[in-house]
Amino acid sequence: MMSESKDIDKAAIRETLAKNPLFEGLDSFYIDDFIPSGEIKSWSKGSQVLCEGDSGEIVYFIISGRVKVTLYGEEGREIVLAVLKEGEMFGEMSIIDDKPRSANVEVVRDLQCLVLNRERFLGFLASHHRVYMMFLAHLTARLREATRKIGGLALLDVCGRIAHTLMGMTKESDGVREGGDGKGGVHVIEIERPTHEELAAMIGSSREVVSRALKKMTQEGYIKIEKHSILIYMND
């Protein structure tokens, strides 16, 4: 269910947008110019924000909450393409090519977004050249990530695909531990723990297969599963 947000913490919005690829490292006035172009909308957990095949006139910048980007196979099996959180965006592809939405977006944690229509978003890019260049770099990064995922799914076994997927999530990491748990000489990367169902959907496998693979990877010392996180051990 979508609703308009009345209480807006502009300082929090600025702080969150500063993490977005369009504004990361740029002067704050770009964000100050950007915020008035949109409006704040909210959705509750379980809401469907976008559906594959719908027309696309809006781009969404996540201020708080989390969404999953999905496709569905012929038998209704869900494939999770990405999980996005605050500071990230979605819906930008249809804004650029004027094609229908290419995936579904569902709220997995109560969501608040700054939303802009096509005219305002493209108008802002046209008048802010540095942000326009950052947007092109963002689209290039998305293409490279898609290539990486396709290669991983095609060429690796289940453990390799899980490792590939977990490493792709390190950009959302809460931190890096040096030589934890008595494992000297390794980097320990900590990421937020996805569920077995989410991992299975991301790599195109089943929950049971993922559970067995994670157990094997834990026993062999490649990862450690904690209550809310997964530790990935990497040699120096």
**Whether residue 148 is found in the same domain as residue 179:** no
Name residues of the chain where pLDDT drops below 70: 1-8, 74-75, 148-156, 171-186, 235-236
**Whether residue 114 is found in the same domain as residue 164:** no
**Whether residue 80 is found in the same domain as residue 167:** no
pLDDT at 176: 47
**Whether residue 229 is found in the same domain as residue 195:** yes
pLDDT at 98: 86
Cα distance between residue 100 and residue 57, in whole Å: 9
pLDDT at 19: 92
pLDDT at 236: 57
**Whether residue 120 is found in the same domain as residue 172:** no
Cα distance between residue 167 and residue 41, in whole Å: 32
pLDDT at 169: 78
**Whether residue 13 is found in the same domain as residue 87:** yes
pLDDT at 178: 45
Digit-coded pLDDT (tens) for 94-116: 988 888 998 999 999 999 999 99
| b/e code 139-158 from CB counts within 10 Å (16+ = b) | eeeeeeeeeebeebbeeeeb
**Whether residue 53 is found in the same domain as residue 168:** no
pLDDT at 174: 45
**Whether residue 78 is found in the same domain as residue 125:** yes
**Whether residue 66 is found in the same domain as residue 120:** yes
Domain count along the chain: 2
**Whether residue 149 is found in the same domain as residue 166:** no
Digit-coded pLDDT (tens) for 74-93: 667 788 888 899 999 999 98
**Whether residue 129 is found in the same domain as residue 31:** yes
Which residue segment(s) compose the domain that 125 sits in? Answer: 2-153
Q: Helix, strand, coil proportions of the chain in percent (round to 5)? A: 40, 30, 30
pTM: 0.68
